[in-house]
Structure 1
Amino acid sequence: MDLSQIVEEIVAAMRDADDRGTVANYIPELAGIDPAQFGIAIVMADGRMIAGGDADTGFSIQSISKVFALTLALGKVGDQLWERVGREPSGNAFNSIVQLEQEKGVPRNPFINAGAIVVADVNLGGHQPRVAIGEMLRFIRYLAEDDGIAINEAVAASETATGFRNIALANYMRAFGTVRHAADLVLGTYIHQCAIEMSCRQLALAGRYLMLDGMHPAGGRVIPPARARRINALMLTCGHYDASGDFAFRVGIPGKSGVGGGILAIVPGRASIAAWSPGLNANGNSQLGTRALEELARRTGWSVFSPTEGDA
């Protein structure tokens, strides 16, 4: 199998695709992103990088940041986190408030907005948002081995000005005690982590620890093996909101999407993959990113459900 050729052919197919989805126009700063863009990068377990298209173009990682935030929060409080947030698929939109009301302020999982706000509350840890945000940036830069990764302040300001539903979620959970800091402080942390900007190459590099059972490729352990496997499990079951089951059915790889059009996907023991195209489908996931990963899984045989893995 020639992985470079597969990537080249996927990039060509995505370049010619007619239905590219719709950009996240409810965040003004993202509304003007050109939907013609598509990039993909794959980092193999042996360190090889295969990339194509707009793989070096920076984009707002948005909800993909929830993977890294969850990793940090579990390092702080361990399994106590699960007393405040669940581990089940939501079956509802990522910003739904209805389910939160029915379940007494405990979010279904850490990858919907309500759950990620609880995780941000844990990571805030009594500090000012700039401390928690700085910790998040340092962690991602360490994972990707790239000190150039930064927050897009224009995106953060745009989300702050329009994030009324997130404000409602945070305040509602504070009424139940699920969120323990002032809502504006928690949301400051959450919004700025979502506004981190990365390219496909950088994002694929940052995901390597989940491919390598919790190890950093440069040496040293990021998280215990069991925790890496559990984060991957949550990505598979909850990483694409109310389309998580469909993504597992079609692709069969743990993945986390963001409304900036990115997807981080992990093939345990084999590859860390980042795909990006800003046009979204009806569920808020990248239209072409999802298609590209489905094609990649089909061509390579990469799936956590395969009895034998494809070779690259």
Structure 2
Amino acid sequence: MSPQLARLETRKDQLQEFVELAAAHGRSAAGTGQVSIQVPALGSVPATKFGMAVATIDGDVLTTGDATEQFSIQSLSKLFALCALLQRDPSAWEHIGWGPTDSGYGSVAELERNHGRPRNPFVNSGALVVTDRLMDLTGDAVGATIDLLTTTSGDTSINSDARVALSESVADHRNAAIAHVLAEHGKLVNGIDRVLTQYFAQCAVAASAQTVAKAALFLADRSAEQEILDGASARRVNAVLLMSGMYGAAGDIAYRIGLPAKSGIGGGVLAIMPGLGTVCVWSPPLDDDGNSAGGVAAIEEFARLAGWSVF
């Protein structure tokens, strides 16, 4: 074995050790959270499920636990829908803001104060506008989002869970209210019912932590061969993730971890380390901010051990 290959193997072994240590930390912290019942179909997911995956731009993929089991990625899909839109229209930012919010991801009042302009693409109003614009460009926002996930991860098993989508559509009155406010201000191109149907199906996309970590690598790797977005768009997406991806906890996550990150009520958390790689954790119990308690703890510990931070 060449000295260079030996160093790479040592690094990979060390990263695997960091993953295992971080996962143990995350499993312990998961006990402080509660599985979301906001979407009834998600309420029956076992709280003990835990999967963690790290993907590097060098091609390493390190996993532990239930990292290859599919889960409902929920708001993690907002990131990939946004990137699918920016692929087709880098100027799409003119329809949505990019600043942080302290009003929560489902605020109708903030949307009204901003005259129907969403604060950023990760609050629900912004995600609905992204879905609407992606529908207008492709005819199928869900399909475009899944296509991006499939292309970037190589996983052809990604799908939208119809049972979860139906559960969301029956229980979710707030997003319907948000869609009506957007339509009142002329921010939707398509009909409200069509947009909501696509949005719920998008949130119901199922993928594994390993798949999500691999799929997001393009945000860490700026090489010309693997560039999915133009450089300016990738930088802006990472910046908005850092400011807004974790909603009201974004400042706390930036302070504690220092990585652009996105969460979903299905228990998934994804973090990006530009120039190095990505880490995704699935742990269903959520903390008081609506983020995975175990996922945040695991990523914080991994970032500490591996020295991953944008600061």
TM-score between the two structures when normalised by the length of structure 2 = 0.92
**Aligned pair partner of 2:171 in 162, 175, 182:** 162
Question: Offset of 1:19 from its aligned partner?
Answer: 3.0
Q: Deviations over 1:146-169 (max 9, x none)?
A: 111111111111001111100000
Query: In 2 relative to 1, CA 221–126 (structure 1 residues): closer, same or farther, beyond 3 Å?
Result: closer
Q: Which stretch has the larger CA shift, 30-39 or 10-19?
A: 10-19
Alignment-mate amino acid for residue 51 of structure 1 = T
The reply to whether residue 103 of structure 1 matches residue 111 of structure 2 is no
Contact 1:58/1:200 (CA < 8 Å) preserved in 2?
yes
Q: Deviations over 1:46-80 (max 9, x none)?
A: 1011111211121111111111111122233322x
For 1:1-312, list aligned pairs within 5 A. 2-17=14-29, 19-79=31-91, 81-125=92-136, 131-213=140-222, 219-305=225-311
TM-score between the two structures when normalised by the length of structure 1 = 0.92
Q: Secondary structure at the match of 1:62?
A: coil
Cα RMSD (Å) = 1.5
Q: Which stretch has the larger CA shift, 70-79 or 98-107?
A: 70-79
| CA distance in 1 between partners of 2:184 and 2:54 (Å) | 43
Tell which has more relative contact order, 1 or 2 (C-alpha 8 A, sep 6+). Answer: 2
Q: Secondary structure at the match of 2:280?
A: strand
Contact 1:214/1:222 (CA < 8 Å) preserved in 2?
no
Query: In 2 relative to 1, CA 270–220 (structure 1 residues): closer, same or farther, beyond 3 Å?
Result: closer
Q: Deviations over 1:108-165 (max 9, x none)?
A: 000010100000110010765xx33222212211111111111111111100111110
| CA distance in 2 between partners of 1:264 and 1:92 (Å) | 22
Q: Which has the higher helix share?
A: 2
Alignment-mate amino acid for residue 288 of structure 1 = G
| CA distance in 2 between partners of 1:35 and 1:214 (Å) | 39
Gap runs ≥5 in structure 2: 1-10
Contact 2:36/2:265 (CA < 8 Å) preserved in 1?
yes
Contact 2:30/2:285 (CA < 8 Å) preserved in 1?
no
Alignment-mate amino acid for residue 5 of structure 1 = E
Contact 1:43/1:205 (CA < 8 Å) preserved in 2?
yes
Contact 1:95/1:113 (CA < 8 Å) preserved in 2?
yes
Contact 1:266/1:272 (CA < 8 Å) preserved in 2?
yes
| CA distance in 2 between partners of 1:140 and 1:158 (Å) | 23
| CA distance in 1 between partners of 2:98 and 2:30 (Å) | 36
Alignment-mate amino acid for residue 145 of structure 1 = G
Gap runs ≥5 in structure 1: 306-312
Aligned residues: 299
Contact 1:93/1:283 (CA < 8 Å) preserved in 2?
no
Contact 1:211/1:269 (CA < 8 Å) preserved in 2?
yes
| CA distance in 2 between partners of 1:117 and 1:249 (Å) | 29
Q: Secondary structure at the match of 1:125?
A: helix
Contact 2:30/2:293 (CA < 8 Å) preserved in 1?
no
Alignment-mate amino acid for residue 295 of structure 1 = E
| CA distance in 1 between partners of 2:226 and 2:274 (Å) | 18
Contact 1:214/1:228 (CA < 8 Å) preserved in 2?
no
